[in-house]
Structure 1
Amino acid sequence: MIGFGFWIDAHGHLADPRWDGQQDALIEEARGRGLHFFMQGGVGPEDWARQQELKKRHPAHIGLCFGLHPYWVAAHDDEECEEALNLLASALPQALAIGEMGLDFRPHIMKDSRERQLDVFAEQIELAHFSQKPMVLHLVQAHEESLKILDLYGVPKQKGMVHSFNGSGAKAQDFLNRGLYLSIGGPVCRPDNKKLHQAVKEMPLEYLLIESDSPDQPPPAYKDGLNPPESIWEVARTIGELKSLDPLEILDITTGNFHRLIGK
């Protein structure tokens, strides 16, 4: 047991412009509740620069993560994506992980980007191998396609995490079979999310992470505004109920798991 209140938000976006002018206060408020490290999720080159500025102000509390998010890929053409991949390769030594990377095949996101998303995902897996960085995966409505590409290119030795997992126990097992961690966020707090509740009950504790995905995906208690990092307390409470464990123990276990995946 860690038990000293030095817990971790495994995934969020404190560099998101929606938080501009509020980040310092947010971090201090979260630290007052025992959260001391905030792993970021990369979106695109503009976001990586904002992460770096935030880390300058909070060097001990921000974990850099650079990648090309499927949203970003869907909004840019092939040439722009290739240029960004070259930038990513040079920037990765500064980061703890590569991501968000993956696939999002919801029609309003995908539009005409299906093949481009597949190609950029594959190239980022290869970068993960080369850089020896763990992956942070964003996979939505593309389960079978994601498994095929992960198996084709191979899960890197450093493994990775499926951010904001919100699927069934069977889908969770597909990722666990490949050595990937599962990060759970605000959606687990919805009383009607029975599929995810059952999946969490079945997940091995040693592959579990918790996240806020701040400022998005708030638990019901935070639905009226942007989602702050401290909302992972609600996530820990819900998972604790599902696992018959104290929320503090969930925070301890997931912090230990994060250290094992990402490092201390």
Structure 2
Amino acid sequence: MFLIDSHCHIDKLNYHSLHRDVTDVMNKAKIRDVRLILAVCTILPNFDNMTAFIGRRDDILFSCGIHPLNINEQPYDLFELGRIATRENVVALGETGLDYSSNKQENKALQQEIFREHIRIGNEQNKPLIVHTRSARDDTIAILREGKAEKCSGVLHCFTDDRDTAKVLLDIGFYISFSGIITFRNAELLRETARFVPLDRLLIETDSPYLAPVPYRGKENQPAYVRDIAEYMATLKNIKLEKLAAATTANFCRLFHLDEQLNSL
């Protein structure tokens, strides 16, 4: 069986007391059939440090992006974003998007500008988008449509919205990714949405080190726990785990332009 963690901040895991190094993290994952992860960058100046820390590995791919909550905290260079995106091991643009959850919303226009630039670069380079949205549903959808994001496609990661929102994103050509939130007791509306999303447009993720699934809630998340999310999702969709794993792996490979066989892993 082959599972993929489609969204992980592996450089932010606890390497002081929980893991020896990245190889230790990946060994724990592979014991549970999680054989590939996508390491997501959210602060562009940290990208080179992140990739140097992880090293060159066949079992970890990268994305590069500017998270909407980081645009005031760190310098950003959209030319540099486009340059980094051309690298062979960078398979996506993001994490990008809109986040209006903060009380300080004076940077809405800047968030939107940077989001549009991610879409433009994604379309130019034919690299999909990893989109974050919080309290910004309408603007997120409007900018995706305006930028013709269906050209490069993408995924709405850590999805927490309703069925109607999922339908709009599916119509745009996007994939929907669910995290450990799907296992939380108060997430029944999200589970209804997960049942609605077609199997051929579904991804799973940990968003490590955040949002550990039940029964690890409250602890640090890690790529190995995508197995728990997969098991939960398979039960939710009333299919065998092996079918869920095969579908989400094929979806990941299709979206990110990879060999579906991944024989080297």
- The alignment's TM-score, normalised by the length of structure 1, stands at 0.90
The amino acid that maps onto 1:193 is A
**Counterpart pick for 1:241 among 235, 238, 259:** 235
The amino acid that maps onto 1:31 is K
**Residue 122 (1) aligns with residue 116 (2):** yes
**Residue 8 (1) aligns with residue 4 (2):** yes
**Counterpart pick for 2:58 among 47, 60, 63:** 60
Distance 1:13 1:201 in 2: 27
TM superposition outliers: structure 1 runs of 4+ over 3 Å: 17-22
**Residue 189 (1) aligns with residue 183 (2):** yes
Distance 2:30 2:164 in 1: 36
Tell which has more relative contact order, 1 or 2 (C-alpha 8 A, sep 6+): 2
Deviations 1:52-81 (A, max 9, x none): 224425x101111001111211434xxx33
Aligned position for 2:50: 51
User: Which stretch of structure 1 is more off in the superposition, 154-163 or 139-148?
Assistant: 154-163
Gaps of 5+ in 2: 260-265
Distance 2:188 2:72 in 1: 31
Cα drift, residue 220 of structure 1: 2.6
Query: What are the equivalent positions in structure 2 for 1:22-33 lying under 5 Å apart?
Result: 22-33=21-32
Gaps of 5+ in 1: none
Identity of aligned residues (%): 25
Cα drift, residue 33 of structure 1: 1.3
Cα drift, residue 18 of structure 1: 4.2
Distance 1:112 1:47 in 2: 25
Aligned position for 2:95: 100
Distance 2:218 2:145 in 1: 40
Higher helix share: 1
Cα drift, residue 141 of structure 1: 0.9
Relative distance call for 1:154 and 1:52 in structure 2 (3 A) is same
Distance 2:190 2:138 in 1: 18
* Contact kept? 1:186, 1:235, Cα under 8 Å: yes
The amino acid that maps onto 2:63 is C
* Contact kept? 2:163, 2:196, Cα under 8 Å: yes
RMSD of aligned alpha carbons: 1.7
Cα drift, residue 19 of structure 1: 4.2
The amino acid that maps onto 1:66 is C
Q: Alignment partner of 2:221: what SS?
A: coil
- The alignment's TM-score, normalised by the length of structure 2, stands at 0.90
Cα drift, residue 42 of structure 1: 1.6
Q: Alignment partner of 1:240: what SS?
A: helix
Aligned position for 1:135: 129
User: Which stretch of structure 1 is more off in the superposition, 127-136 or 244-253?
Assistant: 244-253
Aligned position for 2:262: none
Deviations 1:69-110 (A, max 9, x none): 11211434xxx33xx2121111111111110010011025x5
Q: Alignment partner of 1:127: what SS?
A: helix
Cα drift, residue 156 of structure 1: 4.3
The amino acid that maps onto 1:16 is K
Q: Alignment partner of 1:182: what SS?
A: strand
